Amino acid sequence: MAVEQVVIDLDEHGHESAERSAITHRNIANRRKVLLQLVAAFVIGVVLGGIGVAELRDSRAQHDRSSVVALVALPESGYSGGSNSRGIVRLNGQLTLINTGPAPITIRAIQAERPGVQVRGMGQARLIRPGGTGQILVDLQLECSTAFQPEPLSVRFSVETEDKRLREARYPVALVGSAWQEDALRMCEPRLDS
């Protein structure tokens, strides 16, 4: 009977174990490194996303602020009288505008019309700062018998906002009891007496 000898080389086996152990440690280290890189990328993405959202929100708020038109219009005394033919008075007057909005506006045109009343801006543009006032010259044509109705006159303004866009705004102007009514009635009285 022949005996078979089995030789176990302990050095080689130990070498494989050490090699496997080193590979396992490198794999774990690589996984940790990749995991840390992913976490860092996620954190950076969240921070940049937050900054981007804040910038977008600020940009939208700035856009909204720059496109707001809020104003008050008050008729002021006419600086010169006009004719009184067929019961129609022509006056050159002023309209005082108060910018109650948050941004500067430029008034480009003014117009209003209803039976017995016509109001036209005299072509000059006027920049009005937030909280500021400005006077606009207007041409008024008022019919003595019908101009002064109790309901306000809706005046239309062409306004350039801070974002350089033209917008239309309207404001109701009360004619009854205004300086325009006083000036017109002084001119209408001689016509009514004759």
Distance from C-alpha of 121 to C-alpha of 117, rounded to nearest angstrom: 14
CB 147 within 8 A of CB 91: no
pTM of the predicted model over 0.85: no
Q: What is the pLDDT of residues 131-186, one digit of tens each?
A: 999 999 999 999 988 888 899 999 999 999 988 899 999 999 999 999 888 888 88
Mean pLDDT across 100-123 = 92
The reported pLDDT for the residue numbered 110 is 95
Distance from C-alpha of 32 to C-alpha of 49, rounded to nearest angstrom: 25
CB 109 within 8 A of CB 119: no
Between 37 and 119, where is the model more confident?
119
Q: What is the pLDDT of residues 20-75, one digit of tens each?
A: 666 777 777 777 777 777 777 777 777 777 776 666 666 565 555 666 888 999 99
Distance from C-alpha of 165 to C-alpha of 149, rounded to nearest angstrom: 34
Tokens of 190: 């001689």
